[in-house]
Amino acid sequence: MVEQFSVSKDLLAKAQQILTENSRADSYTVPSGRLYPYQWNWDSGFIALGWACFDYQRALREVESLFIGQWKNGMVPHIVFHEFEEHYAPGPLDWQVPDHVKDQQVCTSGITQPPIIGSVLYRIYTHKNRKTQAQNDDVQFMALYKKTKAYHDWFMSKRTIGPDHDLCLSLHPWESGMDNSPSWDDLLKNVPDEDMSGFRRKDVNDDNLAERPHDHDYRAYMSLVYHYRRVGYDQPDLMPQAHFRVYDLVLNSLLLRSARDMKKLSALLSSDLCAEDEAYWDAQIDKISSGLQKLWSESDGAFLNGDAKTKALLEPVTNASFLPLYAGAASKEQAQALAQKYKEWREVCGFSVATIDPLSDKFEATRYWRGPIWMNTNWLIAEGFKDYGYDDIAAEIRADSAELIERFGYCEYFTPDGVRGCGADQFSWSAALALYWLAE
Ligand code: GLC
């Protein structure tokens, strides 16, 4: 049995302080004041869970401000640029999203990010702080439920392809939230270069070169952006023309879990709504569940991202390979194989869960999504193992996460040997998840 290990009271107070300092206009939270000065889609989901623990109303405002950026077609963009910030690129002038795609005149990016927001809505609705404060907020939740359903509609109608329409496509590495995952290496080599003369990176300096994505990755990220901008982000022929089209495990796993959670939320919000929407959610749950099975690699004993063009599965095994557990899409046998893999990785690293297979030749302990441990994926993986009855693994991931934060504070990511905290400090989702997951 793994000992229960929680973050100290002082550190929890520090976590509240970080969210408060990273809060803007008392309605949204930047991931990091220095490195990411806007509102990010999946960051805000994790961050809202943290707010729910000490300022319940603020959690709802976090979600509401994300939806200010929602497009008329239902898409929730990966960044909402509420206020212009000169220290970040690419900004609104690089994306140039036309105003007519949105209801409100706020600038946004032109792609999405892993859809955690429906699950977050359900978790906030059922959070103990809501019940104790006898909130009268069903109308607010109903509005957010409808917006989230429109987001699901967009995924299933605009981002799936026939004949099965069962897996959603990601068109950019930023859509997976795992920007420079080695899964994308070969695909990015085939992205034609666009004119980059107007673009300058603002995320690198002499101190963090070994921790950020390489220049060649950034060239491909921006070439995709400029190509999509030319074609039109919401044009029907964008998907067939896109040079990067993948079946992404993060995106599909989070969408599936969100469909399950939204179904439960509809039942809590109203019995009429529940009767109307049940079949809608069930159909989505069936489709994505069977779609994810196509991404199982028997020889790896793990799920892998897939190239939608060639249908090839993309090596190596990454931390996203565990997320179908969180989605409830894995069989018992698959869960067992994943538990085995988890144990092998931890044996090699000392701490859980590295971003990629630590024995892969692509592994880099400090470079972003190519090796380090991240708090948000740790939480999702622990939830998945818990759901499948692997309580010891879930407790071990939690204990490792708490210890890393005790050692290094609220860093953006941590080396899997437990020796360094890297990236931005005072990072919002690390602080938020400590409050939500690592207290007591
Ligand atoms: C980076 C991460 C992404 C995150 C964003 C803001 O782009 O890869 O997952 O959402 O920063 O924190």
pLDDT at 196: 85
User: What pLDDT is recorded for position 226?
Assistant: 96
pLDDT score recorded for residue 96: 96
For residue 414, count CB atoms less than 10 angstroms from its CB and return exposed for 0-12, middle for 13-18, buried for 19 or more.
Answer: buried
pLDDT digits (tens, 9 = 90+) for 308-335: 999 999 999 999 999 999 999 999 999 9
Q: What is the mean pLDDT of residues 74-100?
A: 94
Measured distance CA(13)–CA(414) in Å, rounded: 21
Range 27-38 average pLDDT: 95
Residue 210 — pLDDT band, cuts 50, 70, 90? Answer: confident
Compute the distance from residue 366 Cα to the ligand 1 centre, in Å.
15
Q: Which of 65-79, 135-149, 201-215 has the lowest mean pLDDT?
A: 201-215
Residue 61 pLDDT level (bands cut at 50, 70, 90): very high
Residue-wise pLDDT for 370-404, tens only, equals 999 999 999 999 999 999 999 999 999 999 999 99
What's the token pair of residue 271?
């019995």
H helical segments located in 294-438: 323-327, 332-349, 375-387, 391-408, 428-437
Q: Pick the residue whose CA is nearest to atom 2 on ligand 1.
A: 177
Between the CA of 327 and the centroid of ligand 1 the distance, in Å, is: 21
Give the residue carrying structure tokens 């960051």. Answer: 43
Handedness of CA 23, 27, 31, 37 (dihedral sign): negative
The rounded percent of the chain whose pLDDT value lies above 70 is 98
**Residue 168 contacts by C-beta under 8 Å, 6 or more apart in sequence?**
155, 156, 159, 160, 247, 248, 251, 252, 255, 288
Q: How far is the CA of 43 from the centre of ligand 1 (A)?
A: 7
pLDDT for the residue numbered 135:
66
Q: Compute the chain's Rg from CA coordinates.
A: 20
Q: Which residues contact 151 (CB under 8 A, 6 or more apart)?
A: 70, 74, 75, 76, 115, 117, 118
Which of the four pLDDT bands, split at 50, 70 and 90, describes residue 237? confident
Angle CA(312)–CA(113)–CA(176) in degrees, nearest 5? Answer: 30
Between strands 296-297 and 313-314, the pairing is unpaired
pLDDT for the residue 3 = 64
pLDDT mean over 57-67 = 97
414, 417, 420, 424 alpha-carbon torsion, rounded to 10°: -10
- The pLDDT value recorded for residue 320 is 98
Active-site residue identified among 55, 179, 248, 307: 179
The predicted structure's pLDDT at residue 5: 77
Q: pLDDT band at 1, cuts 50/70/90? A: low
Residue 426 has pLDDT above 70, yes or no: yes
Mean pLDDT for the stretch of residues 152-163: 94
Tens of pLDDT, residue by residue over 239-274, are: 999 999 999 999 999 999 999 999 999 999 988 988
Pocket mutation for ligand 1, best pick of 76, 174, 425 (most atoms within 8 Å of C-beta): 174
Q: CB–CB of 327/254 below 8 Å? A: yes
| Residues in CB range of 279: below 8 A, 6 or more apart | none
pLDDT given for residue 73 in this prediction: 96
- The pLDDT tens digits of the residues spanning 270-304 come to 889 889 999 999 999 999 999 999 999 999 999 99
62 is catalytic: no
DSSP state of 24: E
175 within ligand 1 shell (Cβ under 6 A): no
User: Taking 90 as the threshold, does the pLDDT of residue 71 lie above it?
Assistant: yes
In order of 17, 47, 69, 82, 427, the CA distances from 51 in angstroms are 11, 6, 20, 20, 14
Q: How far is the CA of 177 from the centre of ligand 1 (A)?
A: 6
Q: For ligand 1, is residue 38 a contact (CB within 6 Å)? A: no
In whole angstroms, give the CA distance from residue 218 to residue 213. Answer: 7
Residue nearest to ligand 1 atom 12, measured at CA: 31
Return the percentage of the chain with pLDDT > 90, whole number.
86
pLDDT tens, residue by residue, 107-142: 999 999 999 999 999 999 999 998 766 668 889 999
Average pLDDT value for residue range 142-164: 96
CA-177 nearest atom, ligand 1: 9
pLDDT value at position 330?
Answer: 98
179 belongs to the catalytic site: yes
